[in-house]
């Protein structure tokens, strides 16, 4: 009696038309993130230096870190099969989170210990307000596309963009409270909370956990 034929090993399925559309959308969102954060970094670092504001300079450096994270995702999606580069992209994003947490922690502790008082910065307040409006939109769009595509790195990058939203809110509150009431400690104290969140996000990105149930299981190994 002839045995049953052995099942064939299925080859990796080529990306569907919807997946190609989503991959293209991710690339466009990443390009927008890089462009915006590049301008944001230049403005924040310049304004922060003029106002002697550690928070503003730190916000600008965070934008530089966000550019590196978005660039990692852009690099990943230049490949025909973006899934092969998923793990490397996640590692870069994780390191970006850790670098942000380390910088924010050091600068916040230094500002609190030294009682540093920054000058009023109209440009800084305006920049923080604009970022607070722009970043949530970019993050939500990245997250939707990344989840539907099953890309842990795209979702992780969207969470870093969302973290930039929190930093924008912290920066705006710190600058306004400092200008109106002289509460110089408000910004560095709140920034320490952001640093703790960044550590958690970095750990999750390193492990491939991005609130994305349909993401490739191999990435999480």
DSSP three-state, residue 5: coil
Confirm whether 5 is domain-assigned. Answer: no
Q: Which of 14-28, 50-64, 143-157 has the least mean pLDDT?
A: 14-28
Confirm whether 141 is domain-assigned. Answer: yes
Confirm whether 33 is domain-assigned. Answer: yes
What's the domain count of the chain? 1
- Candidates 200, 192, 193; CA nearest to 94 is 200
What is the average per-residue pLDDT within 17-46?
87
Read off the pLDDT band of 218 (50, 70, 90): very low
Confirm whether 158 is domain-assigned. Answer: yes
CATH of the domain at 156: 1.20.1510
Average pLDDT of the chain, as a whole number: 80
Q: Is the pLDDT of residue 181 over 60?
A: yes
CA atoms within 13 A on the CB side of 134: 16
Segment 105-164, tens digit of pLDDT? 888 888 888 777 778 889 999 999 999 999 999 899 988 888 888 888 788 788 878 888
How many angstroms separate the CA atoms of 99 and 173, rounded? 23
Confirm whether 142 is domain-assigned. Answer: yes
Confirm whether 168 is domain-assigned. Answer: yes
* pTM for the predicted model, two decimal places: 0.70
Confirm whether 9 is domain-assigned. Answer: no
Domain of residue 205, residue span = 17-220
- pLDDT for 40 equals 92
Confirm whether 103 is domain-assigned. Answer: yes
Six token digits for residue 20: 């190609």
Q: Which of 38-41's residues contact partners 24+ apart within 8 Å by CB, and which partners?
A: 38/63, 38/67, 40/127, 40/131, 41/67
Six token digits for residue 126: 């305006």
What is the average per-residue pLDDT within 183-212?
77
């Amino acid at each position: 009696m002839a045995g049953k034929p052995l099942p064939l090993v299925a080859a990796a399925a080529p990306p569907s038309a919807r997946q190609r559309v989503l991959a293209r959308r991710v690339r466009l969102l990443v390009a927008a993130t890089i462009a915006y954060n590049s301008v944001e970094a230049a403005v924040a670092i310049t304004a922060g230096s003029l106002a002697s504001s550690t928070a503003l300079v730190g916000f600008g450096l965070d934008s530089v870190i966000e550019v590196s994270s978005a660039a990692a995702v852009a690099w990943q999606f230049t490949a025909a099969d973006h899934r092969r580069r998923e793990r490397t992209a996640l590692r870069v994003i994780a390191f970006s989170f850790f670098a942000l947490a380390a910088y924010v922690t050091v600068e916040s502790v230094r500002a609190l210990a030294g009682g540093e008082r920054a000058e009023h910065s109209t440009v800084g307040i305006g920049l923080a307000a604009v970022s607070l409006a722009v970043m949530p939109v970019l993050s939500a769009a990245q997250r939707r596309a990344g989840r539907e595509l099953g890309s842990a790195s795209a979702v992780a990058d969207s969470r870093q963009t969302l973290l930039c939203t929190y930093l924008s809110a912290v920066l705006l509150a710190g600058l306004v409270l400092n200008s109106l009431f002289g509460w110089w400690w408000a910004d560095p104290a709140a920034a320490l909370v952001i640093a703790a969140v960044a550590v958690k996000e970095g750990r999750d990105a390193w492990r491939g956990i991005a609130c994305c149930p349909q993401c490739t299981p191999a990435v999480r190994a």
